[in-house]
Amino acid sequence: VQLQASGGGSVQAGDSLRLSCAASGGTFSFRRYVLAWFRQGPGKEREFVAAIRSDRSTYYGDSVKGRFTISRDNVKNTVYLQMDSLRPEDTAFYYCAADSSIILSSIRDENGYDYWGQGTQVTVSS
């Protein structure tokens, strides 16, 4: 599975952005995959942002809960991250990830995902 992330950019605090991550190769099973977003800010470790399972149940990191929304389109083989009320501390490289067999207890663990996109930069200025 290849993942291609897009939609990053430079915005002001309070603005919104929508990231997309399109999957290709082996997408016949896309609807069964757990899809996730992680981010890595300057000088920080990679951080869990959000995940969505095949049944569309969603999970969020504490720092983005209530502001970010993850969704998926199984026809377009794409996962989205709608980011509202952006803050300067949201500045990071955002990565999408996918896995077909990750268990619920590992859904926030980057080590549980086999497939990764190349990332897209989000910069939020105050």
* pLDDT recorded at residue 93: 98
CB 26 within 8 A of CB 90: no
For 49-67, the pLDDT digits (tens) are: 999 999 999 999 999 999 9
For 12-30, the pLDDT digits (tens) are: 999 999 999 999 987 678 9
* pLDDT recorded at residue 25: 87
- Residue range 72-84: mean pLDDT, rounded: 97
For 86-123, the pLDDT digits (tens) are: 999 999 999 999 999 899 999 999 999 999 999 999 99
- Check whether 38 has a pLDDT greater than 80: yes
